[in-house]
Amino acid sequence: MLALGQLLELTLAGREPAAKIQLTPEGTRLRWLAEGALEITPPEARDTGLDLLLSAGIHGNETAPIELLDRLLRSIANNQLQPRVRILLLLGNPAAMRHGERYIEQDINRLFNGRHEYSEGYEALRAGELERLAASFFSSPERQHLHYDLHTAIRASKIEQFALYPWAEGRLHSRRELARLNAAGMEAALLQSKSSITFSAYTYSALGAEAFTLELGKARPFGQNEMVNLDLLEARLQHIIEATEPDEDEQGLDGLQLFAVAREVIKQSDEFQLHLPADIENFTELDVGYLLAEDRGGVRWTIEEPGARIIFPNPKVKNGQRAGILIVPSDNAQLA
């Protein structure tokens, strides 16, 4: 196997490879760009015109997606998987990966779309570097651009594998891309309706890519991901990489649950209280009238929306950050 196929091993060891460029027997080029960043370019005659960005490890303890990217890269480096698309693999937060922690100083996935410019420290610098790497990779306007940012969640979820689809002014969410995710094992998709500061929101809104945050189960240490079944996603990524996807997925959107954001719960002060059990699962339904949270000055969040569910509840976030999202079922009427 080519040495650059061991990107994960190099990253965890904090080592820079001696050879920055290597070729597979069939002519695919592997090029090391920076720590945790590898560009894969097929021979020109095989290139179908898609640029595929696959990122994982934005939170360093979310290991199942990191291991998935490692398997794909090793298959390419062994010449078992033969790409017909350009690929950029990014391991987002190498320092946090080495420590087995979510982050070192601050959540890097709250530092994109320029937010890193107003912060400092390791994660702020890394967010800027990831933006530059993504912008350079997606710089050819005549090509298709697709980004999957792979995560696992802090807590358990009633819907284990789901996608967050960013928003941008003037763009409609794509029915075709949602069908592709449905075939990849996603059970639900959250169609966002406002700008955000996550990595996928940056590539979607600033770079014009089709981009998604994929939540793929519960975070566990390296080597302990037997309960996280990514077989459908891995198979679909292999099809995308080798350009062997079906022209139309018969499944379409059948079985894919769509949700829209009703409200975000923003923590304003240290007096914030979230009235939920510590072990509540994502997608738990809340009754109308339920007092969800309280904050300084008599601020109260009470459930008003029938069918409302909570995702990503976290009262420990910094003041001014999102402490949870209320979502409601949606239809597919606004899809392109």
CATH code, domain with 201: 3.40.630.10
**Residue 277 sits in a domain of what CATH number?**
2.40.50.630
State residue 81's pLDDT score. Answer: 97
Whether residue 116 is annotated as binding a ligand: the answer is no
pLDDT value at 258 more than 90: yes
State residue 224's pLDDT score. Answer: 65
Residue 256 resides in a domain:
no
State residue 229's pLDDT score. Answer: 86
* Contacts of residue 22, Cβ cutoff 8 Å, sequence gap at least 6: 2, 3, 4, 29, 30, 77
pLDDT value at 250 more than 90: no
Number of other CB atoms surrounding residue 171 within 10 Å: 13
State residue 285's pLDDT score. Answer: 96
55 shares a domain with 191? yes
Across the range 214-218, mean pLDDT stands at 88
184 shares a domain with 213? yes
81 shares a domain with 23? yes
Is the distance from CB of 40 to CB of 21 less than 8 angstroms?
no
How many structural domains comprise the chain?
A: 2
Is the distance from CB of 52 to CB of 28 less than 8 angstroms?
no
**pLDDT tens profile 22-76:** 999 999 999 999 999 999 999 999 999 999 999 999 999 999 999 999 999 999 9
Give me the domain span that covers residue 168.
Answer: 3-242
**Going edge to edge, which strands form the sheet with 273-274?**
273-274, 291-295, 299-302
Least confident of 61-70, 171-180, 317-326: 317-326
Residues 150, 55: Cα–Cα separation, whole Å = 6
Across the range 312-316, mean pLDDT stands at 91
Residue 251 resides in a domain:
no
Q: Given pLDDT bands bounded at 50, 70 and 90, which one contains residue 332?
A: confident
Q: Which of 145, 147, 136 is nearest to 213 (CA)?
A: 147
Q: Given pLDDT bands bounded at 50, 70 and 90, which one contains residue 226?
A: low
pLDDT value at 235 more than 90: yes
| Active-site residue identified among 39, 129, 210, 215 | 215
Helices (H), 78-198: 94-99, 122-137, 175-183
293 shares a domain with 235? no
35 included as an active-site residue: no
Backbone angles phi, psi at 215, to 5 degrees: -100, 125
Residues 168, 164: Cα–Cα separation, whole Å = 13
161 shares a domain with 46? yes
Whether residue 275 is annotated as binding a ligand: the answer is no
Tokens of 329: 């079922």
Residue 257 resides in a domain:
no
Whether residue 44 is annotated as binding a ligand: the answer is no
Terminal-residue alpha carbon distance, the chain: 42
